[in-house]
């Protein structure tokens, strides 16, 4: 069974956004992430920001990048839930740490924060609804 067939077979809340909606959201968010994260990394590399300010951005980027392989590759809902929680936590951490030096970077993260907060609730809802399903297996709808 391919990944989308597996995902579509999972129990999901009625308010789950459609795949085109999710694509649109990420199409908007990826440029925001690229510009602001890139700015933070350049400033840290230049020594204008301490490493600890860039750290949550780096952890967030890594966690964000591994979410899809965890969910659709490993098909592990629990691990995907933990990962999305790390993504959410590091956005909050990044906003708090970057605010004193570059408040605009913190403010621009708010759409990303809002989406990931929704995605976190969604992921936990899906994980809970499919808790009897072993990782990688499709739920039994009998």
Quote the domain boundaries for residue 103.
Answer: 36-129
What average pLDDT does this structure show over 122-132?
A: 96
| Domain count across the chain | 1
What average pLDDT does this structure show over 57-74?
A: 97
Whether the pLDDT of residue 67 is over 50: the answer is: yes
Please report the pLDDT score of residue 22 as a whole number: 96
Q: Is residue 94 part of a domain?
A: yes
What average pLDDT does this structure show over 90-115?
A: 98
Distance CA 110, CA 99 (A): 12
Please report the pLDDT score of residue 52 as a whole number: 97
Are the CB atoms for 47 and 53 separated by under 8 Å? no
Q: Is residue 44 part of a domain?
A: yes
Q: Is residue 2 part of a domain?
A: no
Q: How confident is the model at residue 142 (pLDDT cuts 50, 70, 90)?
A: very low
Whether the pLDDT of residue 7 is over 70: the answer is: yes
Q: Is residue 6 part of a domain?
A: no
CA distances from 79 to 83, 84, 86 (A): 6, 9, 11
Q: Is residue 22 part of a domain?
A: no
Q: Is residue 45 part of a domain?
A: yes
The pTM of the full predicted model, rounded to 2 decimals, is 0.92
Whether the pLDDT of residue 64 is over 80: the answer is: yes
Q: Burial code of 39-52, b = ≥16 C-beta within 10 A, e = fewer?
A: bbeebbeeeebeee
Q: Is residue 56 part of a domain?
A: yes
Q: Is residue 99 part of a domain?
A: yes
Please report the pLDDT score of residue 136 as a whole number: 66
């Amino acid at each position: 069974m391919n990944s989308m067939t597996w995902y579509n077979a999972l129990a999901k809340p009625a308010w789950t956004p459609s795949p085109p909606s999710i694509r649109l959201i990420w199409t908007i968010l990826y440029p925001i992430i690229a510009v602001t994260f890139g700015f933070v990394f350049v400033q840290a590399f230049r020594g204008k920001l301490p490493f600890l300010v860039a750290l949550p951005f780096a952890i967030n980027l890594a966690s964000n990048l591994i979410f899809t392989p965890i969910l659709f590759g490993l098909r592990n809902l629990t691990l995907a839930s933990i990962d999305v929680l790390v993504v959410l936590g590091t956005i909050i951490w990044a906003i708090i740490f970057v605010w004193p030096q570059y408040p605009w970077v913190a403010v621009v993260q708010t759409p990303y924060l809002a989406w990931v907060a929704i995605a976190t609730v969604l992921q936990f809802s899906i994980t809970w609804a499919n808790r009897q399903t072993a990782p990688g297996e499709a739920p039994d709808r009998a």
